[in-house]
């Protein structure tokens, strides 16, 4: 009878019948409290309904009935992740690892929890175990490739993506990732394969866009510049067509921020316990923020938390939650006491076991919040990474962002967005003065030691020679620069955009029209 009710509940969940599932689960756990699978279903339902605490309680009750049950151990870890108890979730993952050793599905599920927790070594290990049973499973191969890419194990990642593409040719997102894993050569590339995919016309707009981006990268590596940009433009156009986006909304929001946040807001800042721990690194995406993060992260007194959204979330939370409009959110945010935002942020990022004095919060778009950061956390360091606007624009345009940055797929949109960003940063520079630690990407890669020493000193740290070898930083990298940061610092990409100056003319024209001067552009 317990199994019958369990199946009824699962069926109701599958068809989206929340009321029916709740009724079946209520009967199931009331009539069969010693039936462990019932508690698993109850936990899955509560999590599906957004009740993480209740889901955790159900998982715990199931484990009280059947201690060591692999599926319930995985579910407990998942629930702890959902409740925000990251350290407890890590412990639960470790406790579940051996229990799932003979079940490839549970190993796969547990690896995804590892990914959410940033434990990519364990996640890769679990997926490797799962592949023993399923060596040709394309989904497993793809997921392990992503883990290996984050860890800098690019040859292994490419081999896994070869399996994915061979077994599931419709895995379109695998193609550009594979092309990015190494420099393509005349002797070893995928151009013929990718061109054939385009000629076949499979995959619709999304699939074709992915293939175009892969070809753009491979032709760039081969020095076939015109074909590279042709495919890049075709891929970007397909991506832009699929978006409902108006860059004017972003431009307007940045203008409103500058108008709303002034010296009076900054003056409300007051000391918050622990506010000297964060080092914020921000700037336009593809400006070099990852390189700066890796340099700082090499210091023994610093831990990088990666691209976390805790500060924007703290601002939104303190302003009363997500508002109907950006204008409303900005108006509310400027009226919130700065110390409240600082306390909310530090509560979000408080995690034991860093073992270092300071941590890095590297979220590029924190440039929107620079004034709030300075007011809310008077002891924090703010590092603004700047890159030549044409080089930065090209870097954005050539990157296929799976989420976010919708302004990056059209050169006119890019010009308008970059100009608005430059105006906002001019406002922050005027307001914050020396609080903003400016790092020029081109200067950094040309004079690595001098600029690295200046950066470390400005962040209040003693010099350490490890900061000269960011390519040796073993920490995972989840950014679009995951491959580049494993190579020694170089000047290779500084003038790459100039090869395409004719094709990028619309970007330059828009920047000029927005008031960006010739001295900055060229």
Residue 355 backbone zone (phi > 0: left; psi -120 to 50: alpha; other: beta): left
Q: Evaluate whether residue 241 is within a structural domain.
A: no
Is 522 exposed, middle or buried, given 0-12, 13-18 or 19+ CB atoms closer than 10 A?
exposed
What's the per-residue H, E or C state across 281-312? EECCCCCCHHHHHHHHHCCCCEEECCCCCHHH
Of 99, 130, 165, which residue constitutes the final position of a domain?
Answer: 99
Is 61 exposed, middle or buried, given 0-12, 13-18 or 19+ CB atoms closer than 10 A?
middle
In CATH, what number is assigned to the domain containing residue 16?
1.25.40.10
Number of domains in the chain: 2
Of 99, 134, 163, which residue constitutes the final position of a domain?
Answer: 99
The set of residues, in sequence order, having a beta carbon less than 8 Å from that of 301 and lying 6+ positions away, is 356, 357, 358, 461, 462
Residue 361 backbone zone (phi > 0: left; psi -120 to 50: alpha; other: beta): beta
Question: What is residue 178's three-state secondary structure?
Answer: helix
Q: Evaluate whether residue 123 is within a structural domain.
A: no
Residues spanned by the domain of 91: 1-99
Q: Evaluate whether residue 513 is within a structural domain.
A: yes
Q: Evaluate whether residue 107 is within a structural domain.
A: no
List the one residue out of 509, 513, 474 whose CA is nearest residue 121.
474
Q: Evaluate whether residue 141 is within a structural domain.
A: no
> Would you write out the chain's pLDDT as a tens digit for each of its 522 residues?
678 888 888 898 888 888 888 898 899 888 988 998 889 999 998 999 889 999 999 999 999 999 999 999 999 999 999 988 888 999 999 999 999 998 999 999 999 999 888 888 899 999 999 999 898 899 899 999 988 998 889 999 999 999 999 999 999 999 999 999 999 999 999 999 999 999 998 889 999 999 999 999 999 999 999 999 999 999 999 999 989 999 999 999 999 999 999 988 887 667 777 788 999 999 999 999 999 999 999 999 999 988 889 999 999 999 987 766 888 899 899 999 999 999 999 988 876 445 678 999 999 999 999 999 999 999 999 999 999 999 999 999 999 987 789 999 999 999 999 999 999 999 999 999 999 999 999 999 999 999 999 999 999 999 999 999 988 877 766 666 667 777 788 888 888 999 999 999 999 999 999 988 765 666
Q: Evaluate whether residue 435 is within a structural domain.
A: yes
Instruction: Name the pTM for this structure.
Output: 0.88
In CATH, what number is assigned to the domain containing residue 256?
3.40.50.300
The set of residues, in sequence order, having a beta carbon less than 8 Å from that of 44 and lying 6+ positions away, is 13, 55, 75
State how far the Cα of 431 lies from the Cα of 271, in Å rounded to an integer.
19
Tokens encoding 369: 């919040």
Q: Evaluate whether residue 484 is within a structural domain.
A: yes
Q: Evaluate whether residue 60 is within a structural domain.
A: yes
Of 99, 134, 169, which residue constitutes the final position of a domain?
Answer: 99
């Amino acid at each position: 009878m317990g199994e019958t009710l369990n199946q009824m509940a699962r069926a109701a969940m599958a068809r989206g019948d929340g009321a029916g599932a709740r009724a079946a689960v209520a009967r199931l756990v009331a009539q069969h409290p010693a039936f462990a699978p019932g508690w698993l279903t109850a936990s899955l339902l509560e999590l599906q309904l957004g009740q993480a605490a209740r889901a955790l309680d159900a998982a715990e009750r199931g484990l009280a009935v059947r201690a060591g049950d692999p599926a319930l151990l995985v579910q407990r870890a998942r629930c702890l992740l959902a409740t925000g108890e990251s350290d407890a979730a890590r412990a639960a993952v470790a406790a579940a690892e051996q229990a799932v050793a003979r079940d490839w599905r549970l190993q796969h599920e547990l690896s995804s929890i590892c990914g959410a927790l940033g434990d990519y070594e364990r996640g890769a290990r679990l997926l490797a175990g799962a592949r023993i049973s399923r060596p040709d499973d394309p989904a497993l191969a793809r997921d392990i490739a992503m883990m290996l890419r984050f860890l800098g194990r690019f040859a292994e990642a490419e081999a896994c993506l070869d399996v994915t593409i061979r077994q599931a040719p419709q895995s379109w997102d695998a193609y550009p990732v594979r092309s990015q894993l190494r420099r393509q050569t005349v002797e070893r590339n995928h151009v013929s394969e990718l061109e054939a995919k385009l000629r076949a016309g499979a995959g619709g707009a999304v699939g074709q866009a992915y293939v175009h981006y892969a070809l753009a990268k491979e032709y760039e590596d081969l020095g076939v510049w015109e074909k590279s940009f042709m495919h890049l433009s075709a891929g970007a156009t397909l991506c832009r067509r699929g978006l409902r986006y108006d860059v004017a909304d972003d431009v307007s929001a940045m203008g409103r921020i500058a108008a709303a946040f002034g010296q009076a807001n900054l003056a409300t800042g007051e000391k918050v316990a622990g506010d000297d721990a964060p080092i914020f690194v921000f700037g336009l995406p593809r400006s070099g923020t990852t390189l700066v993060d890796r340099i700082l992260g090499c210091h023994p007194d610093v831990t990088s938390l990666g691209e976390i959204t805790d500060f924007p979330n703290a601002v939104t939370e303190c302003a009363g939650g997500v508002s109907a409009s950006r204008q409303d959110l900005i108006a509310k945010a400027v009226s919130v006491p700065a110390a409240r935002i600082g306390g909310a942020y530090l509560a979000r990022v408080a995690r034991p076991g860093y073992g270092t004095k300071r941590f890095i919060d590297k979220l590029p778009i924190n440039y929107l919040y620079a004034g709030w950061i300075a007011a809310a956390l008077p002891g924090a360091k703010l590092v603004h990474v700047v890159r030549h606007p044409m080089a930065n624009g090209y870097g954005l345009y050539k990157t296929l962002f799976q989420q976010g940055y919708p302004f990056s797929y059209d050169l006119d949109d890019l010009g308008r967005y970059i100009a608005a960003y430059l105006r906002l940063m001019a406002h922050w520079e005027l307001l914050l003065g020396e609080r903003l630690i400016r790092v020029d990407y081109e200067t950094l890669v040309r004079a690595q030691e001098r600029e690295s020493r200046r950066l470390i000193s400005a962040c209040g740290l003693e010099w350490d020679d490890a900061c000269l070898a960011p390519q040796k930083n073993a920490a995972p990298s989840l950014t679009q620069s995951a491959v580049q940061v494993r190579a020694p610092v170089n000047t290779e990409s500084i003038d790459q955009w100039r090869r395409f100056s004719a094709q990028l003319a619309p970007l330059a024209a828009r920047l000029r029209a927005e008031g960006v001067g010739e001295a900055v552009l060229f």
